[in-house]
Structure 1
Amino acid sequence: MFGFLSKFLQNEKLKSQCISALGNPKLVTVVFIILYSFSSFCVWKKYSWSPSSQVNFGKEFADQNKEQTPPGAIVFLGEEGNLGAGYDGQIFYYYSRMLSGLSLDWPNGFETSFRAPRIGYPLLVSPFGWFGMNATIIGMYILNLGIFYLSYLAIRDLLPDPKKYLSSFYLFSPFALGSYILLVSDTVMMGLSVLAYSFFIRNRFITFSLLAGLAILTKEQAIFLFFPLGLITLFQKEFIKSIWVASSLILPVVWSLYLRTQFPEWTPGSLGHFFDPFGGLSGYFGELQQAIVSGDRNLILLIKKFSRFPLVLLLLSGTYLLFRGDWKNGLAFRLGFGILLLTAYAGGYVLYWATYENVSRMFTFSIPLLIFWEKEDDTLPSGIYWALTGIILVSFLIKLAFISKPLRHLVW
């Protein structure tokens, strides 16, 4: 496969035509609208054309939060091998409803270990909730799409003209699309981080600090950009910038101190319970081996099992990139990219590698990190990584359109 991709990428004429098309912001925007509209269409048509289907309410949690579950919502009953009693989007919905009512009471049924710190996304959605429960759902769509597109414009503005086409890779990220389909926090976190970095480059440090703090409160992966950025500013003896980068921790630290008063058992170290170095990968390979040895001819089941394999190839491709290019350029992004890959290697099986949705979200932030890295380093051989990302995007669309079947559900 790698040999074929290398030959494909060496076709200079085709490469030039692709770069020209991908560098056209109007064309890219139109494709983006079509791509996301088609993806929502594929989901909504299975569930009575209800936008609530992307929130992924689970009956177990809807029963515990009846007053905040919108009438007519699609509520999933749970099936073995699928998303169980809903998915993370419902957590942010109920969390946001709490904030819309100017309350900090925790929604019923949800554990707090690594959910409660992530107040950024529901906090930003909460003003929409003042207009009702369905408005909260609309707000989740608007926030995902709006911040994502604004951050695309920010990335495009930061890139030099010969590399502006890279911004389209950001907009067509299969991981951002997967996050949108589930209305979870990854794309919002990534968009806030990119916007924060763009203000940092322009020396607008107060805005940077606020956006970066919100990004970290949205999901901890934002640190993969800001921690290396802080280290590099220290190394370069730009101490004022280092202090501003450190100031991005003010909001997360204040919120963490509050959580300790409300949930004494909560600690930031609890996040470490979800990692098992190489345990996730070994568990996945064991799953594949069992499927091959068993001789199971259920095509849909086999496709689902092998849907994670391109992510393994992407992980290997990213690891290869870590040892290539010019080490003098883009060191902060190389370090952030490496930390992200390390978490993928360390991700456990049950909570990460057992499902495509969970493990693919670990790669979401790799896209802007790699784009910023390439901006600094012209020698980085990233073609294979981008080609694999494109293959994953096509595979994801095929899965949405033809493979994913309606889950057991009811209309609330």
Structure 2
Amino acid sequence: MFRFFSKFLQNEKLKAEWIGVLGNLKLVSLLFLILYSFSSFCVWKKYSWSPSSQINFGKEFAEQNKEQTPPGAIVFLGEEGNLGAGYDGQIFYYYSRMLSSFSLNWPNGFETSFRAPRIGYPLLVSPFGWLGMYGTIFGMYILNLGIFYLSYLAIRDLLPDPKKYLSTFYLLSPFALGSYILLVSDTVMMGLSVLAYWAFIRKRFISFSLLAGLAILTKEQAIFLFFPLGLTTLFQKEFKKSIWVASSLILPGAWSLYLRTQFPEWTPGSLGHFFDPFGGLLGYFGEVQQALVSGDRNLILLIKKFSRFPLVLLLLSGTYLLFKGDGKKGLAFRLGFGILLLTTYAGGYVLYWATYENVSRMFTFSLPLLIFWEKEDESLPSGTYWALTGIILISFLIKLAFVSKPLRHLVW
């Protein structure tokens, strides 16, 4: 595969033709629409064509929040010994419903330590909730797709003409698609961060401060861009810009102070419980080894276990990139990319590497960081990273269409 890819890169005529195709705004936008429509189709058809199936309501939490669980929603029962806890999309739904009613009564059953700080996504969805419970659900779809597409246009605007094709890799990201399928916050965080960076480059600093603050409030990974950006402005002695970058912390700081008054046990340090350096990777390798020696030849089970292996290769490929290219160019993005990979190495097994969905979300922000890095440093040998990303996208679509089976559920 990689030998073919290398030969492809050396064929200048073929390469120019593909760059022309990937740089076609209308064609790529149509492909984006088809890709996301097909993905939703694959999920909805398994669950009575209900848009609520992407929220991933779990029976345990639906029962604790009956008044805010929409009638007719798909609620997952879980497997034997599992109460049907669902997935993260439901907490953003319930969080947004709380904000839609101008209430700060925390949804039942959800801990606050790392959920409550992430108000950005539910806050932006909350106006849709004035149209009812299904208004909130469709608002989650609209926000994911709308902000993501706008951020694609922003990246495209920032790239020079010969590099505009890179924006297509961003729009067709398997990680953004995976986030959309679960209607979680990663794609929204990434989109807000990219829009904030666009505002920064265009010297619209008030817009930058608000967008960057919302991005951090959506998910803390946004700091992987803004922290290196702030350091770079300091090194370049652009102190006015440094102050504007620092201003992105005003909204998160104010919300954190408020949380301390409502949930005294809450502390930013609680996020540290999620990390176990190399523990996640070692746990995954142990899982693969056990599957190989057990003699179990259940094809579906083996596919699920090996679905995370391309992510291991992507992690190694990204690590290789950190030591390549011109060290004086794109330093902020190299640093942000390195911090992201470091957190992936440090991710624990149970909460990250045990499931494809959790660990793949850790790579979401790597793509815009790499694109901005490549914009600054043309010598960066990123072909393998992009090839692996393409393989992961194809594998994800195959899994979505043919491998994933309907889970035990009920109609609420």
Q: TM-score range by the shorter chain?
A: over 0.9
Q: Is residue 117–residue 256 contact of structure 2 (8 Å, CA) maintained in 1? A: yes
Matched residue of 2:363: which SS? coil
The equivalent residue for 2:114 is 114
- Please show how residues 139-150 of structure 1 align to structure 2 within 5 Å: 139-150=139-150
Greater alpha carbon shift after TM alignment, 81-90 vs 322-331: 81-90
Q: Distance in 2 between matches of 1:138 and 1:181?
A: 13
- Structure 1 runs (4+) deviating above 6 angstroms are 80-83
The equivalent residue for 1:257 is 257
- Please show how residues 294-373 of structure 1 align to structure 2 within 5 Å: 294-373=294-373
Q: Displacement of 1:105 after TM fit?
A: 1.1
Q: Distance in 1 between matches of 2:112 and 2:228?
A: 28
The equivalent residue for 1:242 is 242
The equivalent residue for 2:273 is 273
The equivalent residue for 1:40 is 40
Q: Distance in 1 between matches of 2:218 and 2:346?
A: 22
The alignment status of 1:123 with 2:126, answered yes or no, reads no
Q: Distance in 1 between matches of 2:13 and 2:82?
A: 44
Q: Is residue 59–residue 83 contact of structure 2 (8 Å, CA) maintained in 1? A: no
Matched residue of 2:230: which SS? helix
Q: Displacement of 1:7 after TM fit?
A: 3.3
The equivalent residue for 1:72 is 72
Q: Is residue 311–residue 360 contact of structure 2 (8 Å, CA) maintained in 1? A: yes
Q: Distance in 2 between matches of 1:168 and 1:332?
A: 22
1:188-236 deviations in Å (ceiling 9; x for gaps): 0000000000000011111100000000000000000000000000000
- Please show how residues 354-393 of structure 1 align to structure 2 within 5 Å: 354-393=354-393
Q: Displacement of 1:84 after TM fit?
A: 4.7
Q: Distance in 2 between matches of 1:50 and 1:407?
A: 14
Greater alpha carbon shift after TM alignment, 360-369 vs 77-86: 77-86
The equivalent residue for 1:224 is 224
Task: Call closer, same or farther: CA 1:383–1:83 in 2, change over 3 Å.
Answer: farther
Q: Which runs of 5+ in 2 are unaligned?
A: none
Matched residue of 2:410: which SS? strand
Greater alpha carbon shift after TM alignment, 257-266 vs 75-84: 75-84
Q: Distance in 1 between matches of 2:5 and 2:258?
A: 51
1:234-258 deviations in Å (ceiling 9; x for gaps): 0000000000000000000110011
Q: Is residue 100–residue 130 contact of structure 2 (8 Å, CA) maintained in 1? A: yes
Task: Call closer, same or farther: CA 1:84–1:317 in 2, change over 3 Å.
Answer: farther
The alignment status of 1:400 with 2:400, answered yes or no, reads yes
Percent identity between the aligned chains?
A: 89
Q: Displacement of 1:409 after TM fit?
A: 0.2
Task: Call closer, same or farther: CA 1:165–1:339 in 2, change over 3 Å.
Answer: same
The equivalent residue for 2:175 is 175
Counterpart of 1:41 in structure 2: which amino acid?
F
1:84-139 deviations in Å (ceiling 9; x for gaps): 51100000000000000001111000011111100000000000001100000000
Q: Displacement of 1:80 after TM fit?
A: 6.2
Task: Call closer, same or farther: CA 1:107–1:72 in 2, change over 3 Å.
Answer: same
Q: Displacement of 1:8 after TM fit?
A: 3.9
Q: Is residue 205–residue 244 contact of structure 2 (8 Å, CA) maintained in 1? A: yes
Q: Displacement of 1:2 after TM fit?
A: 4.1
1:164-190 deviations in Å (ceiling 9; x for gaps): 000000000000000000000000000
Matched residue of 1:407: which SS? coil
- Please show how residues 9-20 of structure 1 align to structure 2 within 5 Å: 9-20=9-20
- Please show how residues 156-195 of structure 1 align to structure 2 within 5 Å: 156-195=156-195
Q: Is residue 28–residue 168 contact of structure 2 (8 Å, CA) maintained in 1? A: yes
The equivalent residue for 1:60 is 60
Counterpart of 1:351 in structure 2: which amino acid?
L
Q: Distance in 2 between matches of 1:82 and 1:182?
A: 19
Q: Displacement of 1:3 after TM fit?
A: 4.0
Matched residue of 2:221: which SS? helix
Q: Distance in 2 between matches of 1:223 and 1:209?
A: 13
Counterpart of 1:95 in structure 2: which amino acid?
Y
Q: Is residue 77–residue 83 contact of structure 2 (8 Å, CA) maintained in 1? A: no
Q: Distance in 1 between matches of 2:82 and 2:44?
A: 18
Counterpart of 1:188 in structure 2: which amino acid?
V
The alignment status of 1:50 with 2:50, answered yes or no, reads yes
Task: Call closer, same or farther: CA 1:280–1:302 in 2, change over 3 Å.
Answer: same
Task: Call closer, same or farther: CA 1:267–1:204 in 2, change over 3 Å.
Answer: same
The equivalent residue for 1:152 is 152
Q: Is residue 233–residue 241 contact of structure 2 (8 Å, CA) maintained in 1? A: yes
Q: Distance in 2 between matches of 1:2 and 1:344?
A: 24
Matched residue of 1:410: which SS? strand
1:315-370 deviations in Å (ceiling 9; x for gaps): 00000000000111100000000000000000000000000000000000000000
Matched residue of 1:326: which SS? coil
Q: Displacement of 1:17 after TM fit?
A: 1.9
Counterpart of 2:145 in structure 1: which amino acid?
L
Q: Distance in 2 between matches of 1:84 and 1:349?
A: 21
Q: Give RMSD over aligned pairs.
A: 1.2
Q: Displacement of 1:21 after TM fit?
A: 0.5
Counterpart of 1:51 in structure 2: which amino acid?
P
Q: Displacement of 1:5 after TM fit?
A: 3.6
Q: Distance in 2 between matches of 1:194 and 1:215?
A: 9
Q: Distance in 1 between matches of 2:350 and 2:12?
A: 43
Greater alpha carbon shift after TM alignment, 72-81 vs 118-127: 72-81
Matched residue of 1:249: which SS? helix
Q: Displacement of 1:295 after TM fit?
A: 1.1
Q: Distance in 2 between matches of 1:360 and 1:3?
A: 25
